[in-house]
Chain A
């Protein structure tokens, strides 16, 4: 095989391989949204996190704006402390409401942020004051049955 042809094919192969890696990173892994270099960290206390896991998405209006990076149990307040990392391009007001939601009926759980109206924005390391726990299906069913029972009385 001619040396130039060989170089051409190998060059093409390496280019295709690198393109594939880029597609995986950008289009599949969504690296552009989740850039580790420009993040700010928020914490929030939740009474019950349900099935929330580390790396679960943080969404606002359905758009992924960050991810859960850590979940700890606090022995002072006896609730869950969730640390999340948000993209700095998306600042949120101080009175943002964080709730643990479920994608579909049985889908994965994520944190939904609903922006408030405060003028002051959240900074790196701030604590979300307004949180809403996960809906636990058993509790819902229990409450529903209890309501039904009290209705029929």
Chain B
């Protein structure tokens, strides 16, 4: 009995030490990526290539999901608001939910599973097939040449994708409520415009998505670069990227929201 308690405490201790060690490793790696980012900006072609893979290829899923999320919001919002006779406020509901929360958060979650996992798998496989070591032996730093461009491409893509998601959602809501159901077009837009504030809603949503972009790509490149060089290692790292970034996105969202909308209605 006593032994069991001791070993239980020991395993808790082991896990804590392990995760702190990993956190330290991740922070150190993040610093290295930032320090070695010079190459990415001197040779911007490297980042452009990665923008294609993380940004352009995520576009379809972002556009389609944004459209559907907006349509659902419009439909549900209309059903509820109609009971109170204020269905003209549906534009406000759709826009505020998208711009403040759903746009940055859902786009980041999709981005983590679409682009984040791809980044991890690619870097992990490059490591497993000794490409990173080969590069280091050719006197080319793999962090500067491989990791940093992917990181910056992700950081640039994320806010753009979140904005596209929100706009698609607002037009999706427009499609359902104005064109299908018949809410007045003018009130859809004007109610939205009078309720949505540039600085508080749109700028804050934009800042949120920048944070998410940094978090998701930092996790993705870290997991890839530190993946054990085996098939299971890479697949485990890919799963961890999606799980960790999703949790970090949601946690970070709460913290950022608390900071940004504190004291304001």
Q: Which residues of A contact B (CB under 8 A)?
A: 1, 6-7, 9-10, 12-14, 16-18, 20-21, 23-25, 27-31, 33-34, 36, 53-55, 57, 59, 64, 67, 104, 106-108
CB distance from B107 to the nearest CB of A (A): 11
* B110 beta carbon closer than 8 Å to chain A: no
Please report the C-alpha to C-alpha distance between residue A31 and residue B196 in the assembled complex, in whole angstroms.
10
> How far apart sit A108 and B191, CA to CA, in the bound complex (Å)?
11
CB distance from A70 to the nearest CB of B (A): 12
Contact A21 B160 (CB under 8 A): yes
Q: A10-B51, A28-B192, A31-B198 are in contact. Are A17 and B265 (CB under 8 A)?
A: no
Chain B stretch 174-212: residues in CB contact (< 8 A) with chain A: 189, 192-202, 206
Complexed CA–CA distance, A30 and B164 (Å): 17
A116 to B96, CA, bound (A): 35
Which partner residue on chain B sits nearest A23 by CB separation? Answer: B167
Is the Cβ of A57 less than 8 Å from the Cβ of B56? Answer: no
- Option from B51, B55, B161, B197 in Cβ contact (under 8 Å) with A55: B197
Which residues of chain B are within 8 angstroms of A12 by Cβ–Cβ distance? 56
Is A64 a contact partner of B193 (Cβ separation < 8 A)? yes
**B164 (CB) vs chain A CBs: closest residue:** A20
- On whether the beta carbons of A29 and B201 are closer than 8 Å, the reply is yes
Chain A to chain B: the 4 pairs with minimum beta-carbon distance, closest first = A17-B160, A29-B198, A20-B163, A30-B193
A55, closest chain B residue (CB) = B197
Known: A54-B265, A107-B86. A24 touches B56 (CB 8 A): no
Interface size classification for chain B: 35 or more
**Partner pick for A10 among B56, B161, B166, B167, CB 8 A cutoff:** B56
Judging by beta carbons under 8 Å apart, are A64 and B194 in contact? yes
Query: Is B254 interfacial (CB 8 A cutoff)?
Result: no
**B56, B95, B159 — most chain A CB neighbours (10 Å):** B56
| CA A9 to CA B49, docked complex, whole Å | 10
- B214 beta carbon closer than 8 Å to chain A: no
A55 touching B160 by the CB < 8 A rule? no
Give the CA-CA distance A53 to B201 in the complex, in Å.
16
Known contacts A9-B52, A10-B51, A20-B163, then 8 further A-B pairs from the complex at CB < 8 Å, ordered by chain A residue: A9-B56, A13-B59, A20-B167, A21-B160, A24-B99, A25-B202, A30-B193, A55-B197
Chain A residues with CB below 8 A from B195, complex form: 108
Q: In this assembly, does B2 line the interface, its C-beta being within 8 Å of a C-beta of chain A?
A: no
Complex Cα gap A67–B11 (Å) = 57
The minimal Cβ–Cβ distance linking A102 to chain B, given in whole angstroms, is: 12
Could you tell me if B48 and A7 are in contact, using CB atoms closer than 8 angstroms?
Answer: yes
Closest chain B CB from A35 CB (angstroms): 9
A17 and B193: CB pair below 8 A?
Answer: no
Judge whether B264 is part of the interface by a CB distance below 8 angstroms: yes
Contact of B215 with A by CB under 8 A: no
Which of B86, B195, B198 is packed against the most chain A CB atoms within 10 Å? B198
A21 to B207, CA, bound (A): 12
Most buried by A among B95, B189, B193: B193
Residues on A with beta carbons closer than 8 Å to the beta carbon of B198: 25, 29-31, 34
Q: A24-B166, A24-B202 are in contact. Are A13 and B197 (CB under 8 A)?
A: no
Q: How far is the CB of A51 from chain B (nearest CB, A)?
A: 9
Q: For A34, what are the chain B residues with a Cβ–Cβ distance below 8 Å? A: 197-198
Judge whether B48 and A55 touch: CB under 8 Å.
no
Asked if A21 contacts B206 (CB within 8 A), the reply is yes
Which B7-49 residues have C-beta < 8 A from chain A? 48-49
